[in-house]
Structures are given as C-alpha cells and as structure tokens.
Amino acid sequence: MEVRRHNAGFCAPHFLKLCRDQVERAIAHHDMLHPGERVLVAVSGGKDSLALWDLLVDLGYQADGLYLGLGIGEYSDESGDHARAFAQGRGLRLIEVDLREQYGYDIPTGARAARRVPCSACGLSKRHLFDAAAVEGGYDAVATGHNLDDEAAVLFGNVLRWHTEYIGRQQPVLPERDGFPRKVKPLVRLSERETAAYCVLKGIDYQVEECPMAAGNRHLGYKEALNLIEERSPGTKAAFYSEFIDKVADRFAVDTAAEQGALGACASCGAPTTGEVCAFCKLVERAGGHGADQPVSLTAKPASRR
Amino acid sequence: MEVRRHNAGFCAPHFLKLCRDQVERAIAHHDMLHPGERVLVAVSGGKDSLALWDLLVDLGYQADGLYLGLGIGEYSDESGDHARAFAQGRGLRLIEVDLREQYGYDIPTGARAARRVPCSACGLSKRHLFDAAAVEGGYDAVATGHNLDDEAAVLFGNVLRWHTEYIGRQQPVLPERDGFPRKVKPLVRLSERETAAYCVLKGIDYQVEECPMAAGNRHLGYKEALNLIEERSPGTKAAFYSEFIDKVADRFAVDTAAEQGALGACASCGAPTTGEVCAFCKLVERAGGHGADQPVSLTAKPASRR
C-alpha cells in the first residue's frame, strides 16, 4: 500500500499499524479522548465509521455504535445490514434509531416537505439525534468518521465563500458545552483511501455505494478539485488541513463565538438551541408524516402536518 | 457574450462598457489611481496587459508601457512584436528593457544557472525592473494585468499551504513605501475570458500562446481546480477573492508586517532590500553571462561567472 503523502509504501501489518498510530496521534494531539472513556460512534455502515469503531475498540475505548435509519431506499437497507453484521460479529452494542418509525419522516420525502436539500435535512437530523443519544446515554463523547478528505473538502468549501463563522468552528474536537456532548473526529489524519484499505485488510464488510442523494452536491465537487491538486502535489490536502488547525483557525474563533449566541432549552424537546424551538423539532414539525409510503404533496403548505 | 457570474448576456458595446465599468470600479473602490496620474503599465504582449493599457488610456490616465525582453525563444519574439504593434498603432510610449543585452542573461538559461525555477527567476526580474523603472521615471504607480483568475489562483495556492505572510500581502493595491512604487491591479474584477473577449472586440492583436516555461506549473493546476468549481457554481471565484479582500485579508496583515522587516538600500543597485544585496542583484551575479548562445554548464558552481 503506497501512501504518497508520506512518500512510503507499507506491507499489510505496517499499514494497519500506521492507521492505528495516526488515530492515536490525532486523539492525543487534540486531547480528544481519555483512556477507558465511553464513546458513542456515529455508524453509517460505510468504511469510515466501521474503521473508526474497530480502531476505537482496539485502542481500548468503550465504544458503542448508533445507527440512524434514514429511509433512503436500498442504500439505507444495505447500510443497516453492514452496521448490524459488524456489531454482531464482534459482540458490540449497536443502538438503532429509525427516522420513519420514531419521527414520522424519511430523508428523501421529509426533506422535500420541509423544503430543505436532502444533505441539509440529513446532517441536521444526524447531529441532533447523535447529540441527544450521547447525552441521554451518559457517553463522554460522540465520535464521527470524518476523514482527512472530508475535513479538507469542508474547509475548502467554507474558505471559498469565506464563511468565517463556520471556518472558526471547524475543529477536530469540539468540547462539551451547554448541553452539547463533546464531539471528536479521530480519523482526521487518514484519507478515505486509507480507511477503505484498512477495512479491506481487516475483513470489514462495508457499504461501498455512496449515498445516492449526495451525488453531484457541492461537497463532492470540492473533493474532486482537491484531488486534482493532490494528484500533482501529494501532501497538499494534509498540509491544507493541519496548517489551518495549527496556525489559522484561532483567527476565526471570534466569528464563531459571535454567531453562536446564547443558548436556551428547546420548548419542545429540551435540546440546547438559540431559538424558541430547535431546528430539529422544526424539521420534524414540517417533515413529520412524510415517510416513503406517504408521498409528499408539493402543493401542501410547508408547515402543514397530516 | 454571456457572463455567467453576473447571470447576464451582453452585446458588444455593452460588454465593452462592462469591462470599463469594472475597471473604474476597481480603481475607485481600492483607491488605486487618481485622475491624470502617470502610470507605468507592465506589458507582456498578452491579452491582459494590452487590455489594461487600452483601458487606462481610455480612462484618461497617462499610461506608458514597459516591455521586458525575457529571451524565451519565439514566445518572447512574438510577445514583443504584439506589444510594439499595439504601442505604434496608438502612438503610445513603450519602454523596452532586454535582459540579455542589459543584464547578460535570459530566463531559460539564467534561471538554470541560478538554480531557480524559471517562473521564480522571471517574477523576481519583472518585479525588480518594473519597480526600478517606475521610480526612475517618476511614475505614480506600476499597473499590472493580473485578472480575477490570476488573483484567485494565487490566493488559492497560498491558502492551500496557509502561507500566512503571503496571504496578508495579497491586495489589489500596495501603497508606495520605502523606495517601492505604488502597485495596482485594475483588472481584478475581470476574468481572463473577459479580457480576451475585450481584446477581440477592440481589435487588439495579442500573443495568444501561454509562456512555454509555465506549462504544468502549480499555478495552472490551481486555476484548473478553481475552474472545475466555477463551472458548477458560477461566481465562486469572484466571491472567493472579493470576500477575502473585504472580510479576511486584515487578519493576516500582522504576518506580512513581521515578515517584511527593516529595509535598507542594496549595496549594488540601491533598490530597497532587507539584505546587504537585493535578490535581483544576486540573480544577476549568478545568472549573468548565461544568455541563450552561452549554454549553461550544469556542473558549474552556482555562483561561478564567466
């Protein structure tokens, strides 16, 4: 396995060691987790989340998984199967939440009803439900499988528009605050090619398909543009991200603080929010009742509910 | 002429007006030039510098051109012809400096002798000689033809590596200071497609070929990556650059100030420099005697001179 940005090739055992070392380093360098902590892993069934779960267990953390049923047709069915198979095979605990059963909507139809792009409705649902489950279950942190490619692409997108309030917030660890759990991204030192190779070498059977709703979104365009540059100058992506964290992020902290405002409790669910009702409850209000078998009427008023 | 980032199409007269308006706006917004000032235009013979010269004259500035003979084979011969033809056709004054005749080197062989990549030796030579000619000729400012694509690509390259000291310096106008003339970039609101169309519509015959020494350099890779994104989201490039200037550049000013240090006069030529001898004089010292007809011996010591 050739890793061009390290200018080195690795045999299987040393490649696995590299992955483990990079995750340990990220955790230590950013003070993400402490020995023996209880971690809730956001599990999608893809390469990143399963590699992450595997690595955290291997490193001695008490890591449970949380899988969200998003209702995105076959893609979701298969993703769930991979997550369950992984957990069962290793005797790990997988918590499951099904959007349709528990909140009355799925991503494709609910997003349309709420007039949000699917990726926005999905991200919002995930953030809220992972946070809520972590707080409720008394976990020390939520861990997500964002890898170097993801983080570099998000940073690139925010830098292209100079969304200063988002730029200041892009950290590999967000400390616990005001009812939000600590959030950590232990894979920020691994590329997506590496997490895929990790899974293959460890015999982890993951969902290979990308989410069909994400096809053609901006984020993938940013990844493509960065890959074009990485191809010519290996290491650019890692430098872009790590130099940002080390030398630049602080300069934008003030924008993030200004944007965050004062937090109260959501009148509906109690989650921390700057408004009366949190964004997730607003989404449920508008999207609820829009599961796959209840097609959306595009003429219905946005806030209407069945 | 369709301009997607303005979401509009233009007929020829209105397109020319658009270009003129954008240049006037850039000049006014950044306080680049004042009515009737004497401007030295850095002329390469390409679309940008000839469009710039044409527009500045049209807007009433006293604009002379300076053409540098870089000695890059046929490319330089043709570029010079275009610059001369433009000046003669309009009765404008074109100053010429020939690197080989006046400084004993040309870019291809001199760069090799000085162990610099050609684009680095070329940029250094241009900056020094344009500055020196402007100061000597008592011009109020040097104007260069950097367009939106150029500036966005340079910014992108600096942001990818977070070269904070360069990021802070990237401004459409650099005020006169310590022996450096004021430098202005009036084309920052026009894309390269637009300056090319401007030349075609105005009947300006320009050098179409790109410099053969720049082929495959990083800067072109950055342009390509940005074009990929611009294609999907028109306006991204303009937003990236202008939001940076308006909201972000100041945050990096301190890095630039720290890097600039105290300036003295070059012991050899008197130009402002932080060292004993300026970078241009060092280049001449190493590259001198390396014109095209005196091939470089690659085994010669870097500082050796014939």
pLDDT in tens, A11-20: 999 999 999 9
Q: Spell out which chain A residues touch chain B, with contact meaning CB-CB distance below 8 angstroms.
A: 159-162, 164, 218, 221-222, 224-226, 228-229, 232-233, 236, 239-240, 243-244, 247-248, 251-252
Q: Work out the minimum CA distance from A215 to partner chain B, whole angstroms.
A: 13
When CB atoms are compared, the residue of B162, B218, B240 closest to A160 is B240
When CB atoms are compared, the residue of B160, B229, B251 closest to A236 is B160
Chain CA centroid to CA A199, Å: 18
**Contact between A233 and B221 using a beta-carbon 8 Å cutoff:** yes
List the structure tokens of A152: 């570099």
Among chain B residues, the shortest Cα distance to A243 is held by B162
- Over 60: is that where the pLDDT of B239 sits? yes
Mutate to test the interface with B, among A117, A158, A159 (most CBs of B within 10 A): A159
Q: Work out the minimum CA distance from B289 to partner chain A, whole angstroms.
A: 34
pLDDT tens across B96-114, in order? 999 999 999 999 988 998 8
Question: What is the reported pLDDT for B39?
Answer: 98
Among chain B residues, the shortest Cα distance to A230 is held by B221
Q: Which fold has domain A2-286?
A: Rossmann fold (3.40.50)
**Contact between B224 and A228 using a beta-carbon 8 Å cutoff:** yes
Question: What is the reported pLDDT for B304?
Answer: 34
When CB atoms are compared, the residue of B161, B228, B232 closest to A228 is B228
**Contact between B244 and A162 using a beta-carbon 8 Å cutoff:** yes
Residue B275's Cβ-side half-sphere holds a number of Cα atoms within 13 Å equal to 8
Average pLDDT, chain B: 91
Among chain B residues, the shortest Cα distance to A217 is held by B232
- Over 70: is that where the pLDDT of A97 sits? yes
Confidence of residue A306 (pLDDT cuts 50, 70, 90): very low
Answer yes or no: is the ipTM higher than 0.90.
no
- Helix/strand/coil (H/E/C) assignment for every residue in chain B: CEEHHHCEECCHHHHHHHHHHHHHHHHHHCCCCCCCCEEEEEECCCHHHHHHHHHHHHCCCEEEEEEEECCCHHHHHHHHHHHHHHHHHHCCCEEEEEHHHHHCECHHHHHHHCCCCHHHHHHHHHHHHHHHHHHHCCCCEEECCCCHHHHHHHHHHHHHCCCHHHHCCCCCEECCECCECEEECCCCCCCHHHHHHHHHHHCCCCCCCCCCCCCCCHHHHHHHHHHHHHHHCCCHHHHHHHHHHHHHHHHHHHHHHHHHCCCEECCCCCCEECCCCCHHHHHHHHHCCECCCCCCCCCCCCCCCC
pLDDT tens across B288-298, in order? 877 755 544 44
**Contact between B164 and A248 using a beta-carbon 8 Å cutoff:** yes
- Over 80: is that where the pLDDT of A296 sits? no
- Over 60: is that where the pLDDT of B124 sits? yes
pLDDT tens across B25-82, in order? 999 999 999 998 999 999 999 999 999 999 999 999 999 999 999 999 999 999 999 9
Question: What is the reported pLDDT for A256?
Answer: 75
**Contact between A232 and B222 using a beta-carbon 8 Å cutoff:** no
Mutate to test the interface with A, among B148, B156, B158, B162 (most CBs of A within 10 A): B162
- Over 80: is that where the pLDDT of A291 sits? no
Among chain A residues, the shortest Cα distance to B240 is held by A160
Q: What is the mean pLDDT of residues B241-262?
A: 86
**Contact between B229 and A233 using a beta-carbon 8 Å cutoff:** no
Question: What is the reported pLDDT for A273?
Answer: 92
When CB atoms are compared, the residue of B221, B244, B247 closest to A229 is B221
Q: Which residue has the higher pLDDT, B263 or B83?
A: B83
